[in-house]
Structures are given as structure tokens and as C-alpha cells.
Structure 1
Amino acid sequence: MIRLRTRAVPPPPVTPGEVLAETEGLRVRLGAREVLAGVDVTVRAGEVLALVGPNGAGKSTLLSALAADLTAAEGVVRIHGRPAAQWSAPELALRRAVLPQSAALSFPFTVEEVVRMGRAPWAGTPLADQDDMAVAAAMAATEVPAFAVRPFSALSGGERARVALARVLAQRAPLLLLDEPTAALDLKHQELVLRLCRERARAGDAVVVVLHDLGLAAAYAHRVAVLHAGRIAADGPPAEVFDERLLSEVYDQPVEVLPHPRTGAVLVAPRRDL
């Protein structure tokens, strides 16, 4: 019997506060090591959720689980209210877009061609005619049009990072999962990327971003989940979660939490005796 492939149906518009992804009792093992040990987290439309914590805490693993790229040993991951395993790959691609830590391509695609890859899930849908507009808007937002015809492989690390983000933005999925998007960027473009995260949340998307810079998390995240040894040590607004004692314990490094002298916003810095 020949099975006909059904075309993926785009998701309906999301409403502010709607849960677009969540985990309950999530446990993930990589080899013999338990990387996540009973994690509960909720991702809502209209907010930026920052995942922070020391190296090895489980941030990238949690992001991969939310993307349905990892299988849980125990617990459940839901995307748009449905267990992740029940979505087909084409359906997932219309609902969540993923930015990995690094991007490598074996063929000499141009920058514009790489960004256009983000539109692949929309082929054959009523919104496919928006491809050109979506690609142009994503490239403009990430400030990459000047090297649109250059090979992706010829770019610097920071330029590649911005092009990879443009691909994710062009995908126009309501759930964005970004793994260390600022790691290779200079100060200006770190701020640009986090402003884009806030803009997408303001437009109604849910954004989950792995960050090492606690200052960026404090400034731009609506909510922060602090991971420590595979568990959530704290979850809430930065002003509530970023506590000197908690952060010093989690990072095994004395930390100061101070109000900004002009705005009163939370500032986080390592305690130094120079």
C-alpha cells in the first residue's frame, strides 16, 4: 500500500501567555551520565526566557530537549501542548526554530542562500509567497545584507553567527530556541541580538536563549532559569532570581548583585580583590 504524505499544517496564531513548550520531570542521560535530573520548565508566548548556569549545568541539553532533538529518559516534553514525539519533523519545523552553538556547511552556499534555508518548512503552504520578504527582513534585522553574496564559509565567526540567526528569524516559527547566540559577537552585536529577542517576544513569540553573560540575561530576559548540576536552582524574574548567595553558590565564585546607578536595573559582577 502506498502512503501519501500529508502536508504540514501551519500552527494557528498564538495568544500572549500561551504555553508553547514545557517539560515535566524531565530526565536526560547522555551515556552513563544523567545531565538533567527532574527538570520542570515552562515557556510562554511573549517572553524571553534565559537559561543560565555554569558549564556542564545542562543548559544546552535542556534547549535540545525543548526542541525535540533529544529523547527523554523520563518525564515529558510538550510543544504547543502536544508531546514532542507526536509531531512530525515538518510540523515541528513550522512551530520551533533552533539556533545551535555553531554552524558549519560543507558546500559554498552564499549568505542569502543560507538565510533562505529557514523558509524550507513553508514550501507548499499558503505563506510560501512571503519567502522573499521574510528573508530580506531577517537579513536587515541582523545587519548582514552587505555580504549577501559572499560564501558563508568566508565569513568571520561573528558574521556566521548573525547569518545563522537570520536563518532562524526567516523561519518565522513562534518558538525560538537559541543556544549561546552572543558567544562570538562583539559588544554592539550582542546588544543587537538580545534586542531582537525582545522584539520577537513583543511580537508574540516565545524565545528561549542560553546565555553565559548574566548582565545580558538581567537586562533582556523577562524570566531566568538558573541551572545547577542538572536541576533548576531558581526560576523567575531576574530581579528576584539573581541573588548574591545563590549565584555565588551555583558558580562557585563570589558574585556581587548591584543596582545600576542610573536606572536601578540589576547588575551582576564577579567579586574581585585586585
Structure 2
Amino acid sequence: MIGKLLTRTSRRIPARPEPGSQYADARALTVRLGGRTVLDGVHLAATAGEVVALVGPNGAGKSTLLAALAADLPAADGEVRIDGRPADAWSAPELALRRAVLPQSAALSFPFTVAEVVRMGRAPWAGTPAADEDESAVAAAMAATEVTPFSARPFSALSGGERARVALARVLAQRAPLLLLDEPTAALDLRHQELVLRICRQRAAAGDAVVVVLHDLGLASAYADRAAVLHGGRIAAQGPPAEVFEADLLSRIYRQPIEVVAHPGTGTPLVVPIRPR
């Protein structure tokens, strides 16, 4: 689809972004919460076809930056742009067509089944031609996250890791061009951590812009095209992990002695804490 169409619900349907184009960006972004500056003059771009990992110690501003990119937090200074416009210029329904957000935790008070939760991701497309894709989108998202076998179970009866995968399936079913994922691997075992990051790479390969908050620097190194290392509300370094994951920088930011070695088979940087003997 070229350009944007006006649907009968007056929502402007987004075109697929051009590969390599900047789909969202923060420009000199400052965010204050409770009178405290949490982000200070941050610049970050989310590019179609690319996975960007936000890393850094607790309290560095990673989740705040992700929420600001989603237009869920207002900018005190600077701005966030999505799909060529200031984020706050989009209506909530139009914004939901452009970005899908996975928060750190998912809680529901009603006994929805897994399939019903995933189907919630299709709500932004109701009344548009894309609603015809609802069933296939839900089925594909559940298959990708390996939740199909328990699709009829109540969400409330799932383990933490299962809930995390269902929440990700909801985001994938939304099929927005911008995916914003906050610690999607936190509750997962090793196999499913790798699964989630492979999905991120697949979505980028399909043309989406993906921004993911990660604590595991090994995952960020293996799967991200670009890493932004946050420290004290600013970006201390940004670029390919092989360039920015440098031992002195990480040791200073994390306040933990760290060494970075190349994987003997792939050359991917391995970030290892130095422990007392």
C-alpha cells in the first residue's frame, strides 16, 4: 500500500516503512518525573529493518526512554517523532496502528483465555480493511511464541514465563511497524530468551523497527544491530555492540569489573564479569 488511506473510521492507515528509513526518533529528549530529570537530552533513532537494544544499569532511564518513544510519557524538552510526525500529533487510535508496546509486566483482572488476550492486539485494526487478517495474525503470533498448545487456558493460570510469551504474542498480532519491548526476556528460560530475540530479528528482517530493553548484554551483542548504553539519563555510547561494548566503559557504568572477549566461533563480543578467585 503506497501512502496513507482514509478509512471509514477516519484513521490514517500507515504505509510500510522503506527499509533503512527512520521510523521513530527522540530528539534532544528530556523527561522529568516527580521533579527529577530522568532523561537528559537523549537522541535515539529507530530504523526500519533494525534491532536497537537499550542497555545499562538499573535506574539508567531505559524503560523511561522506551515509554517516551511510545508517547506514553510526555517530553519536558525535545520531542519524539513517529512516522514523520510529532508523536503527540497522532490520535490514540492512529498511534496504536504505528507502534506496539510490551511493558515489563502484564496483569489482567478478568479470566480471559490466552487466545482472547492475543486477539486484543488486533483491536486497533477494527473497522479497517486489515481486520480481515485478524485470525491469521493471531494464529501466526501464537505459533511464533509457542503458546498455541495452551491457547484455551485462562491467562491467570499461566506461569510467569508463559504470560510473558502471551503478552509478546499480543504485540506481534498488532502488526505495527514499530515494536517497543521492555525486558521481554526477564521471566524466560534460556530457550525462550533466544526465541524472543530471534523473533525480534525476524521482525526487523520483515521491515519493522524494533527497540528492546535488555539486561543481558550477551543477548544484545548477539542480536542487536545497534546498542545504546544508558547511564544517568544520558546515552554514554551508541553503535554496533562490537564497537560500544568496551570493557573500560562497561566497567565504569556498571561499577563492576568486566572483560569483553570475542566468541571463538563467531567473534561476537562476550561480556563477562570479573569475579574474585
Same fold (TM over 0.5): yes
Q: Which residue is equivalent to 2:153?
A: 150
| In structure 2, distance between residues paired with 1:81 and 1:250 | 34
Most deviating of 94-103 and 255-264: 255-264
Alpha-carbon displacement from aligned partner over 1:149-169 (angstroms, at most 9, x marks no partner)? 100000000000000000000
RMSD: 0.8
From 233, 255, 263, the counterpart of 2:236? 233
| In structure 2, distance between residues paired with 1:108 and 1:150 | 9
The yes-or-no answer on 1:60 pairing with 2:84 is: no
When the two structures are aligned, how many residues end up with a matched partner? Answer: 270
The yes-or-no answer on 1:15 pairing with 2:15 is: no
Deviation (angstroms), 1:262 = 1.6
Q: Which residue is equivalent to 1:34?
A: 37
Q: Is the 8 A contact 2:25 2:46 kept in 1?
A: yes
TM-score (normalizing by structure 1): 0.97
| In structure 2, distance between residues paired with 1:177 and 1:64 | 8
Q: Which residue is equivalent to 1:219?
A: 222
Q: Which residue is equivalent to 2:72?
A: 69
Deviation (angstroms), 1:6 = 4.6
Matches for 1:1-274 after TM superposition, within 5 Å: 6-274=9-277
| In structure 2, distance between residues paired with 1:167 and 1:246 | 36
| In structure 1, distance between residues paired with 2:272 and 2:109 | 40
What amino acid is aligned across from residue 238 of structure 1 in structure 2?
Answer: P
Alpha-carbon displacement from aligned partner over 1:57-83 (angstroms, at most 9, x marks no partner)? 000000000000000111111011100
What amino acid is aligned across from residue 159 of structure 1 in structure 2?
Answer: E
Q: Is the 8 A contact 2:9 2:128 kept in 1?
A: no
Q: Percent identity?
A: 76
| 5+ long unaligned stretches in structure 2 | 1-7
| In structure 2, distance between residues paired with 1:26 and 1:264 | 34
Q: Is the 8 A contact 2:9 2:127 kept in 1?
A: no
3-state SS of paired residue (2:173): helix
- Stretches (4+) displaced over 3 A: none
TM-score (normalizing by structure 2): 0.96
Alpha-carbon displacement from aligned partner over 1:126-174 (angstroms, at most 9, x marks no partner)? 1101000000000000000111010000000000000000000000000
| 5+ long unaligned stretches in structure 1 | none
| In structure 2, distance between residues paired with 1:266 and 1:151 | 41
Alpha-carbon displacement from aligned partner over 1:69-112 (angstroms, at most 9, x marks no partner)? 00011111101110011000000000000000000001000000
